[in-house]
Chain A
């Protein structure tokens, strides 16, 4: 399938180059974000009647996991209010390019770069998820803290430091953007080589230099690029393209081989299994332990979770990679092989999260109607839908859909694992890939058992 250069389509090009559509969408999302915070902190404590819970963990999460990430990769980041507010303050403008605003603009310390902070942040949120997903006050507080953190970091550090190194959502959105069917790349690298000013990175009158600190000319994979679209506006040669690339993914063309990304992939995979067990499983004691943050039961639960996500699952994967190295007679160091093959886990990871999210949205999506009319649970009826009853939808099809998604993810992982062989420097590349594929099969069977069994 050939790439389709979307920006060459006239109306798409206009939509993307103009700042209005992006700003309007971002402002609308900001309104929702603030509403979620206010509803969470001041509204009813009953989760399924509060916009803070339903609007965020059902509506937004479903839109993110089922549409934004699989189709648009980092598309959410381009309109995310968390990063946008800091961005506007730094530029001193919302719409106009602007160059002088607030902020000290320091560089993020080298020691804190990479994904480790995002890994830790996601882990902390995962440990508290029992309370976050069910208590409006907690969600409101978490969102408020994230907003204040994002704005605070933007006022001290340069550009999108928060987005790159701290945002817990960006961590996995970036990881899974490797599978997205769209990509932002330069059209002709020679043009960039000849261009001395590199306005895409440095900025000009038309816009800022890349806030994500990426040099578009060298961009060859999706994760580093936040789709903020500044470079599309600043390139004087119209050399930036957003293309539809179909099933081609970054995993094979330009895989990342860093241990922090590898751990991210494993933590996300483990979390999908964990969430399926805790939230969708039948074990009440597990749910109560997850909810009671601070209690003794929760401490035991938290310990087990950390052990599982950071120890057991990565350990099992390490064993699989090591077995592969033996069988495949590979020369690649273990640490490197671990990082290379963790990339193959991206499809099963995304599939697992999509399968989990399908359950959330089909079973509880009907709450969204009521909460839109009565966001605080104060008895309002803004759009007449306040009386909407809880009505799980398509529950007969749900297990089928989940199975299909999980098997598709496994299929893609198998293809990627097999095709990563050339980079594994193995005598018998299939032997190297086989244990990894079996690991992915094990995870898939586990998810099937939890969701469909």
Chain B
């Protein structure tokens, strides 16, 4: 029983480290960043925008077939564009993490499923969740050892 308690303690400590350790600072200073995102069919291109926390990001949305929109989860900004008239939105990426990009104008049957991602610095949540998952699985096996 004491051994088990010890193991639980170790695992709890590990979980605390995984959940609370601060993420590494993204390399380099933040600055201005302009990204040209093409919207065509049911996808954004590029589908993933990478930035550093603190960057002032301008997304230029260029639609190449029909009217499209782009909304950023978590930041609540959006813009629309049609061929010949790009849309622009500027915001400061103050929050770190990965945020989904979604289409905000019905652009065809696949519209609800159009998605991209904005990666601001490292994806701390993914790392924490992944490490916690490994901790749960391996820790569970370890706990069960006699």
Contacts and interface: CB of A to CB of B under 8 A. Distances in A.
Nearest to A367: B112
Contact of B109 (A47, A278, A415): A47
A363 interface: yes
B141 to A, nearest CB: 6
A291 B114 CA distance: 13
A9 to B, nearest CB: 36
Nearest to B40: A284
A291 B74 contact: no
Instruction: Please tell me the size bucket of the interface on B.
Output: 35 or more
B89 interface: no
Contacts, number: 122
A335 to B, nearest CB: 24
Given A48-B106, A287-B43, A399-B125, A418 B113 contact: no
A399 B99 CA distance: 9
Contact of A396 (B73, B109, B132): B73
B78 to A, nearest CB: 10
Contacts of A440: 137
B123 interface: yes
Contacts of A438: 137
B133 A445 contact: yes
A228 B40 CA distance: 49
Contact of B44 (A282, A364, A396): A282
- DSSP majority for the B interface? mixed
Given A47-B109, A282-B43, A284-B42, A453 B137 contact: no
Given A390-B104, A448-B130, A452-B123, A430 B141 contact: yes
Size range of the chain A interface in the assembly: 35 or more
B137 A441 contact: yes
A396 B126 contact: no
Interface stretch (A85-93, A245-253, A297-305, A406-414): A406-414
Interface string B127-144: 011101110111011001
Ranked nearest first, the 9 interchain pairs of A and B with the lowest CB-CB distance are A284-B43, A282-B47, A414-B140, A403-B129, A395-B73, A134-B109, A441-B137, A418-B144, A284-B42
Given A415-B140, A437-B137, A437-B141, 18 more contacts: A47-B111, A281-B115, A282-B116, A284-B41, A284-B43, A284-B45, A291-B109, A363-B102, A403-B129, A407-B132, A411-B140, A414-B137, A418-B144, A441-B137, A444-B137, A448-B129, A452-B125, A453-B123
6 contacts: A135-B109, A282-B115, A395-B74, A399-B98, A411-B140, A448-B130
Interface of B: 40-45, 47-48, 71, 73-74, 97-100, 102, 104, 106, 109-117, 123, 125-126, 128-130, 132-134, 136-138, 140-141, 144-145
